Amino acid sequence: MPPAPHRVVIVAFPGVDLLDVTGPAEVFSVASDNVGTDRPRYRVQIAAPRAGELPTSSGVRLVADLALREVRGRVDTLLVPGAINLVDGGVEPVIDTAVVEWLRTAVPRARRAASVCAGAHVLAATGLLDGLSATTHWLTAERLATDHPRVTVDPDPIFLRNGQVWTCAGITSGMDMALAMVAEDHDPALALTTARTMVMYVKRPGGQSQFSVPLSIRAPSEDRIDELRRWIADHLTDDLSVETLAERTHLSVRHLARLFRQRTGSTPASYVEALRVEAARRLLEETDHGLPEVAAASGLGSVETLHRAFRRRLATTPAEYRRRFRSPPVPFRSPPVPGAFPDGPASAPGRIPAP
């Protein structure tokens, strides 16, 4: 007799982001197709304030299998998707009060609960994220921190885990989080097989950044600071001292520093280091270059500087970062490789622990 399935309940509401629901659902479905007969499959249900059809943000309609009040019995995984509206140039998370009230009692009863993207706002509204670290789509991270000061909001990682409660970043990162859950429930090999079947980029554990440094700047302006940022990105191995940058922009050092912080929220030196660390991360992930080559190619110069920058910004060493995030090339249609995730994606918290 096959083992009882893992029950996954996805809480939907009118206007929910479609991919927040269907992305994780498809990961669990594909995992079920590959798990075999001797291990639990996944049973996915959609629950909403009312059963039946409901519209999503894209206009495509979903069908809720059951109403929230009809969810009874054990729930292994409770997923809370989200939605945002763009209002007057800002973002407004959608909060369904019926969902919030139901979650207050449903989350503690579930084996684990997780928000997807702006679903963190819904989960935070229950008070169940108070005292925990959480992530969400980078567009709404500041709003989440403002609305819920008892939640420690980290806008960088793909997903974060606090015991039974998980949160993840924007939209497709819900699929990365679901893969990590598959690895936890079964093994990394099944997660890898699932990712390959779905042609997913399989090397995104929780500590991976959800956006690059240039994308994190709120509102680029077509002025000399914006031009300077683009030039810096193309000349990471050049002399990028603040004096050199000031000379290039025909500004005083003090005036450049003031304008740069206004535009980016960062000092020129910190911005340059962040870009160089990002370049070093890509080299560690995608090449076999030694640390001296990585330091030189990223503009950090020396292995000592590379180590200091990684300790300061990522709380880890370059070698540890490569061990966690380096993935070998995946041959087309190759068989699953046991142990391809040395520690399993679920083992990586949002902030990489120092060894």
Can you tell me the mean pLDDT for 222-235?
85
This prediction has a pTM of 0.63
Query: Positive or negative CA dihedral for 236, 282, 287, 318?
Result: positive
Can you tell me the mean pLDDT for 8-31?
97
Residue 316: predicted pLDDT: 86
Query: Which of 9, 165, 215 shows the shortest CA–CA distance to 102?
Result: 9
**pLDDT at position 223 over 70:** yes
User: Residues of the chain with pLDDT > 90: what percent?
Assistant: 63
DSSP code, position 260:
H
Flag the least confident range among 52-66, 250-264, 337-351: 337-351
Can you tell me the mean pLDDT for 230-258?
93
Amino acid identity of residue 84, one-letter, is: I
pLDDT class of 218 with cuts at 50, 70, 90: very low
In the predicted model, what is the mean pLDDT of the chain? 85
**pLDDT at position 58 over 80:** yes
331: number of Cβ within 10 Å: 8
Residue 307: predicted pLDDT: 95
Angle between helices 242-249 and 224-234 (to 10 degrees): 130
Residue 208: predicted pLDDT: 52
pLDDT digits (tens, 9 = 90+) for 59-91: 999 999 999 999 999 999 999 999 999 887 778
Flag the least confident range among 153-167, 216-230, 274-288: 216-230
Q: Which domains does the chain have, with CATH numbers?
A: 6-197 (3.40.50.880), 216-325 (1.10.10.60)
Query: Which of 150, 146, 153, 95 shows the shortest CA–CA distance to 123?
Result: 95
**pLDDT at position 215 over 50:** no
**pLDDT at position 264 over 60:** yes
